[in-house]
Amino acid sequence: MFQIKRIYEPADSDDGARVLVDRLWPRGVSKKKAHLDLWMKEIAPSDSLRKWFAHDPARWTEFVSRYRQEFRKNRALAGELKRIEKARGKVTLLYSAHDEQHNQAVALLQFLKGRGSD
């Protein structure tokens, strides 16, 4: 099972494997406090897409479409996440964005669950 969570929320024993899916390290979070199992910055949107989106909800639909195209090129990374899920039972995708509905972890969760991945 995959779930998402802001990295600023406390780590919990129910998180399973904790995977940061941001390209940039979150401000104000120490590596110790993050309790990460993996930082998978390569699966995050490209710098150009991230900058274009700028967390503007009006660009959300187009962002998801463009990110989906990038995601298709990263199938090996998606496979790695699915292997972790199989081994650990649960994977928490961590993100740092303030907007809890319009961020790459929300889109990535949709892709991994098969909604919009093809």
Per-residue pLDDT of the chain (118 residues; tens, 9 = 90+): 999 999 999 999 999 999 999 999 999 999 999 999 999 999 999 999 999 999 999 999 999 999 999 999 888 998 999 999 999 999 999 999 999 999 999 999 999 988 544 4
Distance, C-alpha 76 to centroid of its chain: 15
DSSP string, 39-90: E-GGGSPPHHHHHHHTT-GGGHHHHHHHHHHHHHTTHHHHHHHHHHHHHHS-
The structure's pTM equals 0.90
